[in-house]
């Protein structure tokens, strides 16, 4: 089979070949939020705060789509490694159909539930109205997001990372072009403000899905989606959901964390809520290279595990961990050398920039050690051990950081919330190393 290169090529070139397109894809994907935020920041600080309040729910939608896709990716890669082509095709067909159903449900639930959600985090009616306007348009594209991400993970599972890269670049390029046109109004286009940002992003996501469909239909693929496979198969569905639910919770837990931290920070000032929102947009960009490597190694881990190449599984893990530590070191250096420029991308308020610089200095101290947890979680998902990965995420996003943020904020005020980030990374990394070694044995 054409995927045999996953167990034949040398480890470092293989990891680089699988990861670099995903790093670029992740960079492009992160630009969706960065670009929207950059242009909306030019509208008003209230609009930017509204975006920060919507972000946890957007993250939840993406978490469910990506998490289920991770399960689909791992199952397809495992079946291919084991030489079970028909089961791989069945997984791809069922997974794509279920992704569409998830998208419909998320669209309805999130649009209906958004007013109640926002009441818990802001008493400013103008900010709430802006958040509802943006979310009401952006969430309409949930089915597109879910189906698009299922195709992304299918292509990744067969090693076609460049297809994902190209598809995301096309969608993001459209978003970059449309954002200023639809937000501020150019030529025949009226100024739509925050509404234009939502539509620009949604159109970009539609273009990404169309490129995936074109590549699937008109280029040779070893995975076939066919209606004959659209039948209930308990074992296939169980495999996808057993990994996908854990991966979804892994990705959804940050939404819970952000909501809790927004509540803590709102006690001090809404400027701190804005800074937290800005940090998470910057964090996406800082962590994207590490996350790209993780996306690259997941199918490698699954394929080699399915093929019984356990020695290669260990080497892939060590190689990716070393690369991630180096990447996060660069992120920490940037956070200490140019923090004013990073925060200044999203606000020109000097007080907000000062708060953001202080937050970046403290939080970035945990970047390098976080590479251990990130790599262990991704490797465990690739091996089909989703519960172990979920436990690490629960520690990182709930069990340690939330109590720490509350306790530290009682002693050090708003700065205590920033201290809780690096404290959590150090504690979680210790657990991650132990859990991965035990799971691998």
What residue ranges in 265-404 does DSSP mark as E strands? none
CA distance 186 to 188: 6
Helix (H, G, I), strand (E, B) or coil at 233: coil
Looking at the domain assignment, is residue 1 inside a domain?
no
CA distance 42 to 37: 9
Question: What's the domain count of the chain?
Answer: 1
Q: Give residue 441's pLDDT.
A: 74
Q: How far is CA 53 from CA 260, 272, 305, 435, in A?
A: 12, 12, 41, 34
- 351-363 pLDDT tens trace: 889 999 999 999 9
Q: Give residue 366's pLDDT.
A: 93
- 321-379 pLDDT tens trace: 999 999 899 999 999 999 998 888 777 888 889 999 999 999 999 999 999 999 998 88
Q: Give residue 190's pLDDT.
A: 87
Q: Give residue 1's pLDDT.
A: 43
Instruction: Identify the segments of the chain with pLDDT beneath 70.
Output: 1-6, 29-33
Q: Which range of residues forms the domain containing residue 205?
A: 6-440
Q: Are 376 and 425 in contact (CB under 8 A)?
A: no
- Record the pTM: 0.70
Q: Give residue 14's pLDDT.
A: 82
Q: Which of 251, 25, 68 is nearest to 154 (CA)?
A: 68
Q: Give residue 2's pLDDT.
A: 55
């Amino acid at each position: 089979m054409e995927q045999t290169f996953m167990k034949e090529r040398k480890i470092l070139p293989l990891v680089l070949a699988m990861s670099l397109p995903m790093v670029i894809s992740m960079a492009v994907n992160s630009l969706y939020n960065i670009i929207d935020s950059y242009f909306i920041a030019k509208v008003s600080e209230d609009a930017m705060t509204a975006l920060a309040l919507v972000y946890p729910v957007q993250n939840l939608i993406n978490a469910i789509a990506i998490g289920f896709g991770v399960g689909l990716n791992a199952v397809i890669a495992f079946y291919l490694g084991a030489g079970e082509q028909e089961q791989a095709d069945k997984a791809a067909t069922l997974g794509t159909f279920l992704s569409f159903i998830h998208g419909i449900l998320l669209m309805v639930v999130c649009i209906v539930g958004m007013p109640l959600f926002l009441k818990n985090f802001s008493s400013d009616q103008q900010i709430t109205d802006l958040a509802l306007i943006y979310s009401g348009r952006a969430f309409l594209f949930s089915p597109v997001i879910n189906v698009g991400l299922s195709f992304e993970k299918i292509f990744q599972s067969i090693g076609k990372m460049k297809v994902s890269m190209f598809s995301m670049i096309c969608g993001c390029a459209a978003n970059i072009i449309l954002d200023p046109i639809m937000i501020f109004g150019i030529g025949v286009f009226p100024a739509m403000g925050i509404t234009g940002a939502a539509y620009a992003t949604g159109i970009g996501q539609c273009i990404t899905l169309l490129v995936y469909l074109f590549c699937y239909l008109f280029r040779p693929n070893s995975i076939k989606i066919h209606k004959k496979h659209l039948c209930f198969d308990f074992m296939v569905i169980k495999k996808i959901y057993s990994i996908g639910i854990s991966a979804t919770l892994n990705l959804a837990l940050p939404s819970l964390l952000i909501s809790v931290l927004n509540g803590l920070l709102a006690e001090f000032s809404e400027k701190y809520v804005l800074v937290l929102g800005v940090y998470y947009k910057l964090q996406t960009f800082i962590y994207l290279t590490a996350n790209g490597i993780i996306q690259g190694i997941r199918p490698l881990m699954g394929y080699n595990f399915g093929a019984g190449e356990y020695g290669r599984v260990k080497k892939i893990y060590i190689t990716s961990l070393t690369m991630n530590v180096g990447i996060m070191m660069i992120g920490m250096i940037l956070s200490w050398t140019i923090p004013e420029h990073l925060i200044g991308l999203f606000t020109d308020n000097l007080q907000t920039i000062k708060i953001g610089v202080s937050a970046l200095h403290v939080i970035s101290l945990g970047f390098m050690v976080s590479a251990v947890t990130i790599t262990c979680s991704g490797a465990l998902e690739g091996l089909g051990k989703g519960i172990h990965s979920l436990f690490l995420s629960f520690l990182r996003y709930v069990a340690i950081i939330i109590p720490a943020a509350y306790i530290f904020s009682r002693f050090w005020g708003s700065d205590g919330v920033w201290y809780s980030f690096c404290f959590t990374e150090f504690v979680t990394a210790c657990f991650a190393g132990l859990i991965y070694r035990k799971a691998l044995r």
